[in-house]
Amino acid sequence: MEVQIFGIKKNADTRKALRFFSERRVKTHFVDFKERAASLGELKRFAQKFGIPALIDETSARFAELGLRHSRLSDTRWLELLVDEPLVLRMPMVRSGNSLTIGLAEDSWKAWLSKP
C-alpha cells in the first residue's frame, strides 16, 4: 500500500497523518503545499467525491486574509482559487488509489489498511 498526503508540515492534522502511516510502515508520498500546489485534476478528484465546500477551510488564516467569508463563487472559480491559494484547503488530503479523505480520518485509514 502507498498513500499520497497533501498538506503543510506546520498543520497539526497533516503531521498526525504522516505519523499515522509512518507508525504502520506505509510508504507515503508527501506533497507540501508550501512548495507545490495541488493540480487542478487532483482537486477535481476530491471535489467530485466530497463537493467544493468540503475542500475549503473557512477557519484558515489565509481564508480570512483573502476576505472570502462572504464570497459567492462558482465551483470552477473556487477550484481555480484553490489551485492558486492551497493554504485555503482543508488538510490533510489523503489518497490511496481511488480512496480519498479530507481532514483527520483515522477510521477510514484503518479500514484501508485492513483491506487485503
Helices (H), 56-105: 61-65, 75-84
Supply the pLDDT for residue 90. 95
Residue 114 phi, psi dihedral angles, 5° rounding: -80, -15
Average pLDDT over residues 70-80: 87
Supply the pLDDT for residue 33. 92
User: Is pLDDT of 116 > 80?
Assistant: no
Q: How far apart are CA 94 and CA 78, in angstroms?
A: 20
Q: What is the pLDDT of residues 38-61, one digit of tens each?
A: 889 999 999 999 999 999 999 998
Question: What radius of gyration do the chain's Cα atoms show?
Answer: 14
Give Cα 89 to chain centroid, integer Å: 6
Q: How many domains does the chain have?
A: 1
Q: Does pTM top 0.85 for this prediction?
A: yes
Which domain, by its residues, includes 90? 2-114
Q: What is the CATH number of the domain that holds 85?
A: 3.40.30.10
User: Is pLDDT of 72 > 80?
Assistant: yes
